[in-house]
């Protein structure tokens, strides 16, 4: 009985270790994509803003809002 419990504990610890690795890899990918998206947006004169969605894809979860540039309003008119 103790051998079964010990084996189960080791198996669970191993599985937890594997899932931790998978999670950190996915987080690194998201972080890298988010950083690239932020850099691209900043280069276009914008600021990255959240959309309110949480899909796990930074391209869907954020939008680049252009903060500068020409206005459609004409002076004096």
> pTM score, two decimals?
0.55
CA distances from 59 to 21, 25, 46, 54 (A): 24, 18, 15, 11
- How distant is the alpha carbon of residue 31 from its chain centre? 5
In order, the DSSP letters of 26-59 are HHHHHHHHHHHHHHHHHHTTEEEEE-S---S-HH
The answer to whether 62 and 48 have CB atoms below 8 angstroms apart is yes
Task: Give 17-74 pLDDT, tens digit per residue.
Answer: 544 555 567 779 999 999 999 999 999 999 999 999 999 999 999 999 998 766 666 6
pLDDT at 5: 45
The answer to whether 38 and 48 have CB atoms below 8 angstroms apart is yes
- Give the residue extent of every domain in the chain: 21-67
């Amino acid at each position: 009985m103790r051998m079964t419990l010990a084996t189960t504990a080791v198996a669970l610890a191993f599985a937890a270790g594997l899932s931790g690795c998978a999670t950190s890899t996915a987080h690194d990918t998201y972080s890298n994509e988010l950083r690239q998206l932020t850099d691209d947006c900043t280069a276009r004169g914008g600021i990255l803003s959240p959309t309110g969605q949480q899909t796990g894809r930074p391209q869907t979860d954020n939008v680049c809002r252009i903060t500068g540039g020409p206005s459609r309003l004409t002076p004096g008119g």
